[in-house]
Every structure is written in C-alpha cells, then in structure tokens.
C-alpha cells in the first residue's frame, strides 16, 4: 500500500467515524416519521457532506490529531502550530534512529568480541547526520566500554521514544483545548493590564515587581 492510498484510506475512515453519529440520528428520525405519499414534484435534498461536524467539536479535533498529527490544529485554524508539531516529531524520530543505531552496533561489537573470533569483529560503522555521515571506529574501545556505552545509548533511545510519544499526546491535548476555546469571547469588555512598580524605602531594601489589573466592564 503506497502513501497516497494510505492517506485516502485514513481520510475516508475519519469521515466515516465523524459522520456515524449523525447518520444514526437520521435513521432513528426516519423511523419515527410516518410514510407520506410523494407528490409529482421533485424534492431536493438539503443535506450536505461535512468532513467535520458543523458545530465546532473538541472530540472531532482530538480524533483528527490522533489520526494525523496537526490535523486537529488545522481544524481549529491554528495552522502555525503544525510545523512545530512536525519539527518536534522529526527531531525525536532522528534521536530514536541515532541512539538505537549506535546502541545496536556497540552491542553487536561487544557480542562479537565475546566470541573470541577477531576475524569477525566489528571495527567501524556509519551514523547518518543531516549534513552527512560520521564513521565511528571501535578499535579503541575495551569490551567493558562497549557494554557500558551500548546501555547508555539504549536508555537514550528509550527516552527518545517516550519524548516522541509525549509530543504526540500533547498534539492531541492541544487540539482538544483549542477546540474548547475556539468560540471563547475575548471582547473589549475584558482587558488585562501589566504595569511595573518600584517602591524605594528609607533604610530598607527597595521593592519592585509587576501589577496585573484585570478589568471587566
């Protein structure tokens, strides 16, 4: 299955999930309406297709970001957040690759040295960077160092996976919270003023800070 096919399938699945409650209500309503004899005039359907519910829905926003990270932010019209989400996921994904690549090669080098066959020892391996590749040589490492470093990079890789999952979860939470605040009214009747203050005192330390004033008209 190529990317375009998978993408179209995900969009159709999302549309089905979001439209399922509306279809259920429509079918239930049809069961309660008595049958009427249709006249000769053509009745035009007023129903239109909506990928998302007409009323802004936090549930729809969360589900959208769960299926495709950033889609809920687009639904909330917070488009500027989408590059941040993907930059975070891409960064975490790179560190997953980086740490597990070094871990697996250090672990393999340690295993081969334990076999005692120097002909099969792993002497070097390459790690990919954005600007190129780096070759890491293992001849200068003792077996104990290989074991210790492999454990360190394994833990770093596990931490990168946790961070990636955290970014994914925050992407969903952010979409839900923004959807709740989507129609929040911030009018001229509500204002917040921030003002610094400084109070010199004789023979005492001077005092300073910020004064927050919330005004509701």
| Per-residue pLDDT tens over the stretch 2-24 | 445 544 555 555 555 455 444 44
- Determine the Cα–Cα distance for residues 117 and 18; give it in Å rounded to an integer: 60
Query: Rounded mean pLDDT of 60-69?
Result: 94
pLDDT band with cut points at 50, 70 and 90 for residue 115: confident
**What pLDDT is attached to residue 42?**
44
Compute the distance between CA of residue 176 and CA of residue 216 in angstroms, rounded to an integer: 27
Torsion of CA 118, 122, 123, 125, to 10 degrees: 170
pLDDT at 2: 45
Q: Are 108 and 122 in contact (CB under 8 A)?
A: yes
Q: What share of the chain is helix, strand, coil (3-state, %, to 5)?
A: 55, 15, 25
Structure tokens at 148: 């210790």
pLDDT reported for residue 155 = 96
Min mean pLDDT across 55-64, 78-87, 123-132, 171-180 is at 123-132
In total, the chain counts a number of residues equal to 217
**SS3 annotation, 17-85:** HHHHHHHHHHHHHHHHCCCCCCCCCCCCCCCCCCCCCCCCCHHHHHHHHHHCCCHHHHHCCCCCHHHHH
H or E stretch including 181? none
- The tens digit of pLDDT for each residue in 123-180 reads 888 888 878 888 888 888 888 999 999 999 999 999 999 999 999 999 999 999 999 9
Q: Whole-prediction pTM value?
A: 0.60
């Amino acid at each position: 299955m190529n990317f375009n096919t998978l993408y179209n399938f995900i969009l159709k699945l999302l549309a089905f999930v979001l439209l399922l409650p509306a279809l259920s209500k429509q079918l239930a309503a049809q069961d309660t309406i008595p049958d009427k004899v249709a006249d000769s005039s053509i009745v035009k359907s007023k129903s239109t297709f909506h990928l998302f519910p007409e009323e802004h829905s936090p549930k729809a926003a969360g589900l959208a970001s769960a299926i495709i990270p950033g889609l809920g932010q687009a639904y909330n019209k917070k488009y500027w957040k989408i590059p941040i989400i993907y930059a975070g996921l891409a960064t975490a994904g790179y560190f997953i690759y980086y740490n597990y690549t070094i871990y697996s090669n250090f672990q393999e080098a340690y295993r081969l040295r334990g076999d005692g066959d120097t002909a099969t020892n792993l002497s070097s391996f390459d790690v990919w960077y954005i600007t190129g590749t780096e070759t890491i040589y293992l001849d200068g490492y003792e077996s104990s160092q290989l074991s210790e470093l492999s454990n360190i990079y394994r833990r770093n890789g596990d931490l990168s996976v946790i961070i990636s999952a955290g970014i994914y979860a925050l992407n969903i939470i952010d979409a839900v919270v923004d959807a709740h605040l989507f129609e929040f009214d911030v009018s001229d009747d509500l204002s917040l003023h921030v003002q610094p203050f400084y109070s010199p005192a004789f023979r005492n330390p001077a005092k300073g800070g910020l004064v927050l004033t919330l005004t509701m008209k």
